[in-house]
Amino acid sequence: MERTRDEVVRILHERGACAVAELAVAMGVSQGSVRRQLDIMTGAGLVESRRERRPRGRPLTVYSLSEGGEERSSSVHYARLLDHIYPALSDLAASEVSGQAGTTILWRMFERVAERVAEERAPHVRSANFGERVAEVVGAFREVGVLNDVVDEGDAFRLSNVGCPCRSTAQETDAACEADRYSIELLLGAPVEQVSTIAGGSSSCEYLVRKTSGEPAGAALLAGMPASPPAESPRMHISEPSMNARVELQ
Protein backbone atom coordinates (compact mmCIF):
# COMPACT_ATOMS: atom_id res chain seq x y z
CA MET A 1 0.00 0.00 0.00
CA GLU A 2 2.85 2.36 0.83
CA ARG A 3 4.32 1.72 -2.60
CA THR A 4 1.01 2.50 -4.31
CA ARG A 5 0.69 5.69 -2.29
CA ASP A 6 4.18 6.80 -3.34
CA GLU A 7 3.26 6.11 -6.97
CA VAL A 8 0.15 8.30 -6.70
CA VAL A 9 2.24 11.07 -5.13
CA ARG A 10 4.84 10.78 -7.89
CA ILE A 11 2.28 10.98 -10.71
CA LEU A 12 0.43 13.93 -9.19
CA HIS A 13 3.73 15.70 -8.58
CA GLU A 14 4.83 15.22 -12.20
CA ARG A 15 1.50 15.80 -13.96
CA GLY A 16 -0.48 18.03 -11.64
CA ALA A 17 -4.21 17.45 -11.07
CA CYS A 18 -5.51 14.10 -12.41
CA ALA A 19 -8.82 12.29 -12.54
CA VAL A 20 -9.25 8.75 -11.22
CA ALA A 21 -9.29 7.25 -14.72
CA GLU A 22 -6.01 8.95 -15.66
CA LEU A 23 -4.30 7.71 -12.49
CA ALA A 24 -5.62 4.17 -13.05
CA VAL A 25 -4.19 4.03 -16.58
CA ALA A 26 -0.84 5.47 -15.48
CA MET A 27 -0.55 2.93 -12.64
CA GLY A 28 -2.03 -0.05 -14.47
CA VAL A 29 -4.64 -0.75 -11.77
CA SER A 30 -8.42 -0.56 -11.52
CA GLN A 31 -10.25 2.70 -10.87
CA GLY A 32 -11.68 1.16 -7.72
CA SER A 33 -8.18 0.59 -6.35
CA VAL A 34 -7.25 4.17 -7.14
CA ARG A 35 -10.39 5.53 -5.44
CA ARG A 36 -9.68 3.53 -2.28
CA GLN A 37 -6.13 4.85 -2.18
CA LEU A 38 -7.26 8.41 -2.79
CA ASP A 39 -9.81 8.16 0.04
CA ILE A 40 -7.03 7.09 2.42
CA MET A 41 -4.68 9.81 1.17
CA THR A 42 -7.38 12.47 1.43
CA GLY A 43 -8.01 11.45 5.02
CA ALA A 44 -4.25 11.66 5.69
CA GLY A 45 -4.12 15.16 4.21
CA LEU A 46 -1.88 14.17 1.29
CA VAL A 47 -4.27 14.99 -1.57
CA GLU A 48 -7.07 17.44 -2.25
CA SER A 49 -9.99 17.17 -4.67
CA ARG A 50 -12.01 19.66 -6.64
CA ARG A 51 -14.80 19.58 -9.21
CA GLU A 52 -13.71 20.67 -12.67
CA ARG A 53 -16.30 21.79 -15.22
CA ARG A 54 -16.16 20.35 -18.73
CA PRO A 55 -17.70 21.63 -22.01
CA ARG A 56 -19.99 18.59 -22.02
CA GLY A 57 -21.20 16.17 -19.41
CA ARG A 58 -20.95 16.28 -15.67
CA PRO A 59 -18.16 18.05 -13.79
CA LEU A 60 -15.11 15.86 -13.28
CA THR A 61 -13.46 15.32 -9.90
CA VAL A 62 -9.71 15.80 -10.09
CA TYR A 63 -7.09 15.22 -7.41
CA SER A 64 -3.92 17.12 -6.66
CA LEU A 65 -1.27 17.06 -3.96
CA SER A 66 -1.87 19.06 -0.81
CA GLU A 67 1.03 20.92 0.76
CA GLY A 68 1.68 17.84 2.90
CA GLY A 69 1.69 15.64 -0.19
CA GLU A 70 4.14 17.92 -1.95
CA GLU A 71 6.45 17.80 1.05
CA ARG A 72 6.32 13.99 0.92
CA SER A 73 7.22 13.96 -2.77
CA SER A 74 9.96 16.53 -2.20
CA SER A 75 11.81 14.75 0.61
CA VAL A 76 14.60 13.69 -1.74
CA HIS A 77 14.89 17.26 -3.04
CA TYR A 78 15.23 18.62 0.49
CA ALA A 79 17.98 16.08 1.14
CA ARG A 80 19.77 17.25 -2.01
CA LEU A 81 19.36 20.89 -0.94
CA LEU A 82 20.88 20.11 2.44
CA ASP A 83 23.81 18.43 0.68
CA HIS A 84 24.49 21.72 -1.13
CA ILE A 85 24.00 24.10 1.80
CA TYR A 86 27.16 23.31 3.78
CA PRO A 87 29.53 23.65 0.78
CA ALA A 88 27.69 26.83 -0.22
CA LEU A 89 28.20 28.34 3.23
CA SER A 90 31.84 27.25 3.20
CA ASP A 91 32.32 29.09 -0.11
CA LEU A 92 31.27 32.42 1.38
CA ALA A 93 34.22 34.70 1.96
CA ALA A 94 34.62 36.55 5.26
CA SER A 95 33.92 39.82 3.46
CA GLU A 96 30.52 38.47 2.37
CA VAL A 97 29.33 37.68 5.88
CA SER A 98 31.16 40.12 8.14
CA GLY A 99 28.75 42.80 9.28
CA GLN A 100 26.04 41.58 6.89
CA ALA A 101 22.40 41.07 7.80
CA GLY A 102 21.19 37.47 8.04
CA THR A 103 18.93 37.99 5.01
CA THR A 104 21.88 39.09 2.89
CA ILE A 105 23.87 36.01 3.92
CA LEU A 106 20.85 33.81 3.12
CA TRP A 107 20.64 35.18 -0.43
CA ARG A 108 24.39 34.76 -0.90
CA MET A 109 24.11 31.15 0.22
CA PHE A 110 21.27 30.43 -2.23
CA GLU A 111 23.33 32.03 -4.97
CA ARG A 112 26.09 29.52 -4.30
CA VAL A 113 23.58 26.65 -4.14
CA ALA A 114 22.20 27.66 -7.55
CA GLU A 115 25.70 27.69 -9.03
CA ARG A 116 26.49 24.28 -7.61
CA VAL A 117 23.22 22.78 -8.89
CA ALA A 118 23.88 24.18 -12.38
CA GLU A 119 27.43 22.86 -12.32
CA GLU A 120 26.17 19.43 -11.22
CA ARG A 121 23.65 19.25 -14.10
CA ALA A 122 25.94 20.77 -16.78
CA PRO A 123 27.16 17.40 -18.17
CA HIS A 124 23.57 16.70 -19.30
CA VAL A 125 23.48 19.78 -21.57
CA ARG A 126 25.65 19.57 -24.68
CA SER A 127 23.73 20.76 -27.75
CA ALA A 128 24.82 23.91 -29.59
CA ASN A 129 21.30 24.32 -31.00
CA PHE A 130 19.30 26.65 -28.74
CA GLY A 131 15.98 24.80 -28.99
CA GLU A 132 17.62 21.45 -28.33
CA ARG A 133 19.56 22.92 -25.43
CA VAL A 134 16.34 24.20 -23.85
CA ALA A 135 14.95 20.66 -24.00
CA GLU A 136 18.19 19.30 -22.50
CA VAL A 137 18.02 21.81 -19.65
CA VAL A 138 14.45 20.74 -18.87
CA GLY A 139 15.57 17.12 -18.87
CA ALA A 140 18.55 17.90 -16.65
CA PHE A 141 16.37 19.67 -14.10
CA ARG A 142 13.49 17.18 -14.22
CA GLU A 143 15.41 14.78 -11.98
CA VAL A 144 15.88 17.42 -9.27
CA GLY A 145 12.25 18.57 -9.39
CA VAL A 146 12.87 22.06 -10.78
CA LEU A 147 11.32 21.60 -14.27
CA ASN A 148 9.15 19.03 -16.00
CA ASP A 149 7.83 20.52 -19.26
CA VAL A 150 8.58 22.98 -22.05
CA VAL A 151 6.29 24.50 -24.69
CA ASP A 152 7.48 26.31 -27.83
CA GLU A 153 5.33 29.46 -28.06
CA GLY A 154 6.89 30.82 -31.23
CA ASP A 155 8.88 33.77 -29.94
CA ALA A 156 9.73 32.16 -26.62
CA PHE A 157 9.96 28.86 -24.76
CA ARG A 158 7.75 28.45 -21.69
CA LEU A 159 9.32 26.17 -19.08
CA SER A 160 7.17 24.89 -16.25
CA ASN A 161 6.96 22.69 -13.19
CA VAL A 162 3.68 21.63 -11.54
CA GLY A 163 5.33 20.60 -8.26
CA CYS A 164 7.44 22.78 -5.99
CA PRO A 165 10.59 20.87 -4.90
CA CYS A 166 10.96 22.86 -1.65
CA ARG A 167 7.60 24.54 -1.06
CA SER A 168 7.89 25.37 2.64
CA THR A 169 11.29 26.98 2.09
CA ALA A 170 10.00 28.94 -0.91
CA GLN A 171 7.13 30.29 1.18
CA GLU A 172 9.61 31.68 3.70
CA THR A 173 12.00 33.40 1.30
CA ASP A 174 11.98 34.40 -2.37
CA ALA A 175 15.64 33.41 -2.49
CA ALA A 176 14.63 29.77 -3.04
CA CYS A 177 12.58 30.57 -6.17
CA GLU A 178 15.21 32.98 -7.46
CA ALA A 179 17.88 30.34 -6.99
CA ASP A 180 15.93 27.92 -9.21
CA ARG A 181 15.55 30.60 -11.89
CA TYR A 182 19.21 31.52 -11.65
CA SER A 183 20.41 27.92 -11.93
CA ILE A 184 18.27 27.46 -15.08
CA GLU A 185 19.76 30.66 -16.52
CA LEU A 186 23.31 29.55 -15.75
CA LEU A 187 22.84 26.16 -17.37
CA LEU A 188 21.03 27.54 -20.42
CA GLY A 189 23.39 30.48 -20.92
CA ALA A 190 20.52 32.87 -21.76
CA PRO A 191 18.19 35.20 -19.79
CA VAL A 192 15.34 33.45 -17.98
CA GLU A 193 12.27 35.28 -16.66
CA GLN A 194 10.17 33.75 -13.90
CA VAL A 195 6.50 34.58 -14.50
CA SER A 196 4.73 32.55 -11.79
CA THR A 197 5.47 30.47 -8.70
CA ILE A 198 3.58 27.84 -6.73
CA ALA A 199 4.75 29.51 -3.53
CA GLY A 200 3.10 32.70 -4.78
CA GLY A 201 -0.25 30.96 -5.28
CA SER A 202 -0.06 29.80 -8.92
CA SER A 203 -0.77 26.24 -10.00
CA SER A 204 2.74 25.92 -11.45
CA CYS A 205 6.14 27.57 -11.58
CA GLU A 206 6.70 29.02 -15.05
CA TYR A 207 9.66 30.62 -16.80
CA LEU A 208 9.99 32.38 -20.16
CA VAL A 209 13.07 32.11 -22.33
CA ARG A 210 12.99 34.54 -25.26
CA LYS A 211 14.37 33.29 -28.55
CA THR A 212 17.40 35.19 -29.80
CA SER A 213 19.51 35.04 -32.93
CA GLY A 214 22.92 33.45 -32.64
CA GLU A 215 24.49 31.80 -29.63
CA PRO A 216 23.16 33.03 -26.25
CA ALA A 217 25.62 35.07 -24.22
CA GLY A 218 27.06 33.02 -21.43
CA ALA A 219 26.84 29.66 -23.20
CA ALA A 220 30.52 29.15 -22.40
CA LEU A 221 29.37 28.30 -18.87
CA LEU A 222 28.37 24.91 -20.19
CA ALA A 223 31.98 24.05 -20.92
CA GLY A 224 33.08 24.54 -17.34
CA MET A 225 31.47 26.52 -14.53
CA PRO A 226 33.39 27.90 -11.58
CA ALA A 227 32.48 26.26 -8.27
CA SER A 228 32.75 29.61 -6.53
CA PRO A 229 32.72 32.89 -8.52
CA PRO A 230 34.56 35.94 -7.16
CA ALA A 231 32.86 37.31 -4.05
CA GLU A 232 33.08 40.86 -5.36
CA SER A 233 30.89 40.10 -8.39
CA PRO A 234 27.80 38.19 -7.20
CA ARG A 235 25.05 37.51 -9.72
CA MET A 236 22.14 37.73 -7.32
CA HIS A 237 21.50 40.98 -5.51
CA ILE A 238 19.11 41.85 -2.71
CA SER A 239 17.14 44.88 -3.81
CA GLU A 240 15.61 45.47 -0.37
CA PRO A 241 16.62 44.25 3.11
CA SER A 242 13.71 41.87 3.55
CA MET A 243 13.02 38.16 3.19
CA ASN A 244 10.69 38.83 0.26
CA ALA A 245 13.00 41.13 -1.66
CA ARG A 246 13.22 40.44 -5.37
CA VAL A 247 16.59 40.21 -7.10
CA GLU A 248 18.00 41.03 -10.49
CA LEU A 249 21.04 39.80 -12.35
CA GLN A 250 24.09 42.00 -12.65
Please tell me whether residues 195 and 209 are part of one structural domain: yes
How far is the C-alpha of 105 from the C-alpha of 96, rounded, in Å? 7
Domain boundary among 20, 47, 73: 73
pLDDT at 119: 93
pTM summary value: 0.67
Same domain? 97 vs 218: yes
pLDDT band for position 133 (cuts 50, 70, 90): very high
Q: Is residue 128 part of a domain?
A: yes
Strands (E), 21-139: 47-52, 60-65
Show which of 73, 106, 129 is a domain's final residue: 73
Higher per-residue confidence, 46 vs 136: 136
Is residue 79 pLDDT above 90, yes or no? no
- What pLDDT sits at residue 185? 94
Does 234 reside within a domain? no
Within-domain flag for 249: no
Q: Does residue 36 sit in the same domain as residue 155?
A: no
What confidence tens digit (pLDDT) does each residue in 136-152 have? 999 999 888 899 899 99
Could you tell me if residue 31 is inside a domain? yes
Q: Are residues 12 and 117 in the same domain?
A: no
> Above 50 in pLDDT, residue 246?
no
All residues at 6 or more sequence positions from 231 whose CB lies less than 8 Å from its CB, including other chains: 92, 93, 95, 96
The answer to whether residues 105 and 39 belong to one domain is: no
101-105's contacts with Cβ under 8 Å and 24+ in sequence apart are 101/241, 103/173, 103/238, 103/241, 103/242, 103/243, 103/245, 104/238, 104/241
Q: In terms of domains, do 158 and 41 share one?
A: no
Residue 81 has pLDDT above 90, yes or no: no
Asked whether 237 and 250 are in contact (CB, 8 A), the reply is yes
Q: Domain containing 169: what range?
A: 79-223
What's 91's domain CATH number?
3.30.1380
Q: Verify that 157 and 95 share a domain, yes or no.
A: yes
Do 154 and 115 fall within a single domain?
yes
Q: What is the per-residue pLDDT across 160-215, written as a single tens digit (0 to 9) for each?
A: 988 777 877 888 888 999 999 999 999 999 999 999 998 888 878 999 999 974 44
